Amino acid sequence: MVLYIWKIIELPYISTSDLIYKISFDLFLFSPKDAKIFIKKAIHNGLLILEENNKLSISVDLVFELKNWHKKRRVEILKKINYSASIAQNLDNFEKNSSNKFNILLKAFLDTATLNRAVLVTDNAIKIDTFDPNGKFIKVEVKGSQNTPYIIEISTDEKVIKHDCQDFQTKRAPNKKFCKHLAKLFLLLKEKDEKGATLILENVTKDINKWNFVS
């Protein structure tokens, strides 16, 4: 709890009265009375150090833990920044290559909002169990908000796209459009085999009236 509080206040020193105020009226963790008891116990246990100027600091061990936490946070923040930059780059590349055959075909099944949501789906959320290089059959597991993964199955022989996420079931399938999971799948398939991914999209587009989008 001391470390949690220090992560928030981010000060090398603080007076006892200011810490009581912070704990009680900013963070609403304890009443002022209980905050005083908490501080006394923390001092007794060596987690808080009462300096000569009557200000409080955290122990050496907690300083070390706090520094490690800051290092981890910097790594996490950098990852998020890089990931956001990657997303922006992917969208930019998609728009710049709008005349690319794959992109033209994929955009026929998407709106801009769905494409934006698709690039936010992480690559490791899509597990391709089966991908026939000739584009005959694809089976995929998708990590979503539920414990049980979603399933995507595409068969060019049976002309069926089957998926069980709610957005696809209720909004996309009736209009023969892709949800973010299907869009993300094809973006990944393009990286693996652009020719094969394009062939599948071409197959669906050419015979769209014969294809069934089912849940």
**pLDDT at residue number 101:** 87
Q: Give the pLDDT confidence of 75-125 residue by residue, as tens digits.
A: 888 877 766 666 566 656 666 655 588 888 998 898 888 888 888 888 889
The mean predicted confidence, pLDDT, of the chain is: 87
How would residue 178 be classed by pLDDT, with cut points 50, 70 and 90?
Answer: very high
> Rounded CA gap, 183 and 51, in Å?
59
Q: What percent of the chain has pLDDT over 70?
A: 90
Q: How confident is the model at residue 212 (pLDDT cuts 50, 70, 90)?
A: very high
**What is the per-residue pLDDT for 75?**
86
Cβ–Cβ contacts within 10 Å for residue 58, how many?
Answer: 22
Residue 134: name the closest of 154, 111, 163, 113 by CA: 154
**pLDDT over threshold 90, residue 129:** no
Widest CA span in the chain: 82
- Looking at residue 32, its pLDDT comes to 94
**Residue 135: pLDDT over 80:** no
The CA–CA distances, whole Å, from 149 to 25, 168, 181, 212 equal 44, 15, 12, 22
Residue percentage of the chain with pLDDT more than 90: 52
Q: Quick: pLDDT tens for 19-34.
A: 999 999 999 999 999 9
Q: Is the dihedral of CA 11, 16, 19, 23 positive or negative?
A: positive
Residue with tokens 């979503």: 144
Question: Is the model's pLDDT at 168 over the cut of 90?
Answer: yes
Fold of 1-96: Arc Repressor Mutant, subunit A (1.10.10)
Domain boundaries, the chain: 1-96, 101-214
**pTM of the predicted model as reported, rounded to 2 decimal places:** 0.57
pLDDT tens digits, one per residue of 184-206 = 999 989 888 888 888 899 999 99
Please count the other Cβ atoms lying within 10 Å of the Cβ belonging to residue 84: 11
Sign of the CA dihedral running 12, 15, 18, 20: positive
Residues 168-177: what's their mean pLDDT?
93
Contact 109, 177 (CB under 8 A): yes
